Amino acid sequence: MNFRNFYKPSRLTYSFEVYPPKSDAGITDLIANLQALKDLDPAFVSVTYGAMGSTRDVTRDLAIRIKNEVGVTTAFHFTCVGTNRPDIKSYIERFKKEGFELMVALRGDPPQGTEKFVPPPDGFAHANELVSYIRNIDGFSIAVAGYPEGHIEAQDKETDLKNLKRKVDAGADIVITQLFFDNADYFDFCERARVIGITVPIIPGIMPISNLKQVEKITKMCGARIPEVLHARLRTSEGDPEKIRDIGIGHAISQCREIMKRTEPWFHFYILNKSESVRRIVGMLK
Ligand code: FAD
């Protein structure tokens, strides 16, 4: 199985990203939410890897449960944080044994309170090194992260894009973007990426906003921007969760519709472990 095979011209294709909940009850809820979304037939569900490798085993156990209990194609995320080559090999070999073939390969963030990522001994400094390593030891299809507004540590967007090309040249099959709320950033990013020879699919990461404080926190952490007009609408409705959710859904639908018109109908939804918003969005797109 290869990520690339999901994406056919003009065919609506979407995937869902989830994160490992902290409690058993949260995990049960998440499994139920994914079961409720199964009829939407996502290409795959991807399971994130906690900051600082904090959900190492939880990510793996959850990914295995989603694959087996929900019965959807599942991808796992993995970062270079706090791990070395032999450890990476044994971690991902277990996935291989469980029948996984799709991996999202990342560097990960530096520990909170520090600015610079320090590679672990016998580990990797950048995601392109991880991609090369996995390519050499195994037959996984690999997705990597792209940043329409530039990665938060990058000195400028052009350097960041050249670094994205290193990941693709190392063997990534697709790029999944960080969330963005202004499509102009995505269109510009794709155009610049094509100019420097990145030809793989660049799947837009769409996050339906459902909570103002949460989206402010996420965007601050990852260096993404909430356009002022959208931000003002959200602020006006603060305290009315349903209104906020409706604004978030409406904005995501208009982002997707414009992307479908201008490029391909391919999306990666950051569903924040919920089912309702994405069901409404996909319903409208269909
Ligand atoms: P890199 O590609 O290594 O880039 C990091 C920085 O280094 C960039 O500024 C880049 O320009 C620069 N750079 C890259 N290569 C080189 C090089 N060879 N030489 C010099 N500079 C270089 N985080 C998690 O902890 N867990 C997750 O599950 C997770 N999933 C994610 C999924 C997606 C789709 C996205 C967009 C992000 C995700 N992240 C996750 C966040 C990610 O780990 C952070 O953004 C991290 O800071 C960078 O990871 P990267 O793989 O993009 O790193």
Q: What is the pLDDT of residues 51-95, one digit of tens each?
A: 877 789 999 999 999 999 999 999 999 999 999 999 999 999 999
> How many angstroms is it from 35 CA to the middle of ligand 1?
30
pLDDT at 136: 86
Task: Report the candidate in 152, 145, 144 with the shortest Cα–Cα distance to residue 224.
Answer: 152
Task: List all residues whose CB is within 6 A of at least one atom of ligand 1.
Answer: 48-49, 51, 77, 79, 104, 106-109, 126-128, 145, 151, 153-154, 159-160, 163, 166-167, 176, 178, 205
**102-106 and 13-18 beta bridge pairing:** unpaired
* Spans in the chain with pLDDT lower than 70: none
Q: What is the DSSP string of 196-235?
A: TT--S-EEEEE-----HHHHHHHHHHHT----HHHHHHHH
- Ligand 1: residue whose CA is nearest its atom 3: 126
Token pair in block for residue 125: 């400094």
- Ligand 1: residue whose CA is nearest its atom 43: 108
pLDDT at 106: 98
Contacts of 124 (CB under 8 A, 6+ apart): 80, 107, 130, 133
pLDDT at 137: 80
CA distances from 263 to 9, 220, 255 (A): 9, 28, 12
pLDDT at 247: 98
- Ligand 1: residue whose CA is nearest its atom 29: 48
Q: Which of 60, 124, 126, 168 to mutate to test the pocket of ligand 1 (most atoms within 8 A of CB)?
A: 126
Residue 101 contacts residue 1 (beta carbons within 8 Å):
yes
Catalytic center residues:
17
- pTM for the model stands at 0.97
> How many angstroms is it from 175 CA to the middle of ligand 1?
12
Residue 54 contacts residue 80 (beta carbons within 8 Å):
no
Residue 204 contacts residue 180 (beta carbons within 8 Å):
yes
pLDDT at 55: 85
Task: Report the candidate in 119, 106, 226, 109 with the shortest Cα–Cα distance to residue 175.
Answer: 106
Task: Report the candidate in 160, 129, 20 with the shortest Cα–Cα distance to residue 76.
Answer: 20
pLDDT at 54: 79
pLDDT at 282: 98
- How many CA atoms, within 13 angstroms, populate the side-chain half-sphere of residue 209? 31
